[in-house]
Structure 1
Amino acid sequence: MPYLFQGLGDPDPALDAVKAEIRRLDPEGKRWGDVVRHTYDMIYNGSETGRYRWDQLMKTEKTHFGTVLEINAQREFEFDGGDTTDYRIAGHQVDAKWSQSEGKWMLPPEVFDELALVVTASDPKAHFSLGLIRVKADYRSEGTNRDKKSSLNVRGRFAVEWLWHEHPMPASILLQLKETTVTSIFEPGAGTQRVNRLFRAAEGRLVHRNTIRTVAKQLDDQKRVRTNGGARSALKPEGYIILSSYYAHLAEELGVPVPDDKHYISVRVTPAAESGALIDGRRWRRATPDDPACHAPTLPPRGIREA
């Protein structure tokens, strides 16, 4: 939970200006959440390795995470480079610091008296935290490592100005499903077969495009999903339709989460007597576990609503 007295300290106009600029660029924290998600996926490199968990990484890869996050954020927000720090935001020097554990950011001597943008996240819980702090002498712990880096002491951790704390970011469905289910998804077989098992197991839940690449161990996620030889055609006899952002209206009408351009969602459907989503000339609703399997309808051309 957030610190109850976080951000206590003397007025800091520079910190306030940087905070306002970050908020202006990303009022809801969605872009920052996407940056953190993208960084995890880059480090996992799932399309080549099939990895999707932090504990599957080598020590050097974990160490490299902060550097990749710093670069990805600079590309996303086009921050200027700082003189002695990573960024210049709203005209002020800001250094970016990542730690997998909240409060464990390592601060080098050159950050002393500068602003630090501190970031942490939990991939299993699908949330991230991002805050600002002026690194003062009395905020730093007494102990240092051999590189003369130190961490924040208790007072320093309370002084962090949180912009977002435990804020939602795009989830990895592989970390949300039961371990036995994920194991069965990755059972030997062709990439298309693994993707089919993924969409069966994740019915009614958003699946990130990178998760499909990880399961298939291939870069072309659209090929694994599309009707011509992909999961849409393979799962159609079992009653599944697979929706992308082009079919947001159908997701809403079926009562499932609405996919954006980075997600898909599979839905097992059954004919509806009256109300429901109009697909292929008739009404459909989301099937319950008791509904027998039936042949799914054919989705209309992308983005077309049936009248």
Structure 2
Amino acid sequence: MLPFEEDAKAATWIANQELFQRDPELLKVAEHIRGLDRSEERFAAVLRDTIDQLLNGEATGRYAWKQLFKTEKTHAGTLVEINLQREFRFDDGSDVNDHPMDYRILGIDVDCKFSQDFGGWMIPPEAMGYLCLLVWADDYKSRWSAGLFRVQADWLNTGGNRDKKLTVKAEHRDKIFWLWRDAKLPENVLLHLPEATRNQILLKGSRKGQKRVIELFRLVQNRRIGRGAVRTAAQQLDYMARLREGDGRARTVLRKDGIVIAGPYSKHQAIARQIGAEVPQRGEFVSFRVVEAQPHHADRPRVELDGKYWVLATPDDPAEEAPRLPKVANESDA
């Protein structure tokens, strides 16, 4: 974590001292969640994977939230709740007023509510007086937030829907303790590409999965590409096979043009970092073009592969065949 991020975190906790004094259970749960190993990275990955799960690109070819059916959007909250519990292994919550709370964290019941619209969390009346984990993610903004909120009647809007669920009043959102606020959501690359580029990748027709994957990594270089984008391009269950070395497959085809594909493996991450490329994280891949280092490349960052030194290519560098990246085990599990 960078120093300014540590300072921002400290400032947030200091600003909420009054809230913590009034609600020691909230502080206890907040410290536990923030203290979990790589909690922010894992939370963001769960949200990315859940949105991709809803889009189901390998079967549908969809890449945007607006392409979901209304019933699928409604189901998003349940999937977020389930996937967070699987990732962090929260215990099941208690039954409260015939309402099963989602989690029990350090003996404290917590309900989980997700909304793609900030402030749209629908809180059931049975959760009155209990803690809620409020989660928001927006794929178009590539941002997400998660905070803890003690449900109190005077902090909620009156009315509600036919299930009598209520929302937090805008003026009382300061009662939410933000574990993470406007954090970066791993990018949905296909969603944010220019339409012309996206159309070059998402070719129409069957049996074009390999071609689509090759074009994805050819046209989208030095940018982190998640598994969801690869699945959507391949539209096949064995989408990872489209990436590997082999006749006609992406790594072999693109290597001839000088393009390598780094995955979320320590050896590949080290190479990307050393050469100055974007570094793939969990469930991500990055393609970038390389050329053998020459005197005119001066002191540009370089990496040794196959007994030669390589640098990131510029548009002026002619294409030349790239070296193979080191083999890794369990590539399909990344």
Question: Partners of 1:99 and 1:30 in 2: how far apart?
Answer: 20
Correspondence for 1:292 among 305, 318, 321: 318
User: What secondary structure does 2:132 align onto?
Assistant: strand
More helix by share: 2
User: What secondary structure does 1:121 align onto?
Assistant: strand
By how many angstroms is 1:7 displaced?
8.7
User: What secondary structure does 2:112 align onto?
Assistant: strand
Look up the match of 2:253. Answer: 234
Alignment of 1:35-74 (within 5 A): 35-74=46-85
Look up the match of 2:6. Answer: none
Correspondence for 2:269 among 244, 248, 256: 248
Q: Is the 8 A contact 2:268 2:326 kept in 1?
A: no
Question: Does 2:157 match 1:141?
Answer: yes
Question: Partners of 1:50 and 1:74 in 2: how far apart?
Answer: 28
Question: Partners of 2:270 and 2:145 in 1: how far apart?
Answer: 32
Look up the match of 2:4. Answer: none
Correspondence for 2:229 among 178, 190, 211: 211
Letter in 2 for 1:233: T
Look up the match of 1:23. Answer: 34
Q: Is the 8 A contact 1:97 1:105 kept in 2?
A: yes
Question: Does 2:202 match 1:191?
Answer: no
Look up the match of 2:332. Answer: none
Letter in 2 for 1:192: Q
By how many angstroms is 1:28 displaced?
4.8
Deviations 1:229-282 (A, max 9, x none): 310111122111111224222111220122234111111111212662212221
TM-score normalised to structure 1 length: 0.92
Q: Is the 8 A contact 1:186 1:215 kept in 2?
A: yes
Letter in 1 for 2:104: R
By how many angstroms is 1:210 displaced?
2.5
TM-score normalised to structure 2 length: 0.85
By how many angstroms is 1:205 displaced?
0.9
**Structure 2 unaligned blocks of 5 or more:** 1-11, 330-334
Question: Partners of 1:288 and 1:161 in 2: how far apart?
Answer: 46
Deviates more, 1:92-101 or 1:239-248: 239-248
Percent of residue pairs identical: 43
Question: Does 2:306 match 1:280?
Answer: yes
Aligned in 2, Cα 1:199/1:253: closer, same or farther, shift over 3 Å? Answer: same
Letter in 1 for 2:259: Y
Q: Is the 8 A contact 1:46 1:217 kept in 2?
A: yes
User: What secondary structure does 2:256 align onto?
Assistant: helix
Aligned in 2, Cα 1:146/1:6: closer, same or farther, shift over 3 Å? Answer: farther
Deviates more, 1:100-109 or 1:153-162: 153-162
Q: Is the 8 A contact 2:137 2:185 kept in 1?
A: no
Q: Is the 8 A contact 1:6 1:162 kept in 2?
A: no
Question: Partners of 2:77 and 2:152 in 1: how far apart?
Answer: 22
Look up the match of 1:163. Answer: 179
Question: Partners of 2:198 and 2:86 in 1: how far apart?
Answer: 33
Deviations 1:76-98 (A, max 9, x none): 11111112311111111111001
Deviations 1:106-135 (A, max 9, x none): 111101111110000111232210000101
Please report the RMSD computed on the Cα atoms of aligned residues, expressed in angstroms.
2.1
Alignment of 1:91-130 (within 5 A): 91-130=107-146
Deviates more, 1:59-68 or 1:268-277: 268-277
User: What secondary structure does 1:65 align onto?
Assistant: helix
State the number of aligned residues.
Answer: 301
Higher relative contact order (CA 8 A, sep 6+): 1
Aligned in 2, Cα 1:7/1:179: closer, same or farther, shift over 3 Å? Answer: farther
Letter in 2 for 1:44: L
Aligned in 2, Cα 1:26/1:105: closer, same or farther, shift over 3 Å? Answer: farther
Letter in 2 for 1:264: F
Deviations 1:11-69 (A, max 9, x none): 10111111111112245511111111111011111111111110010000000000011
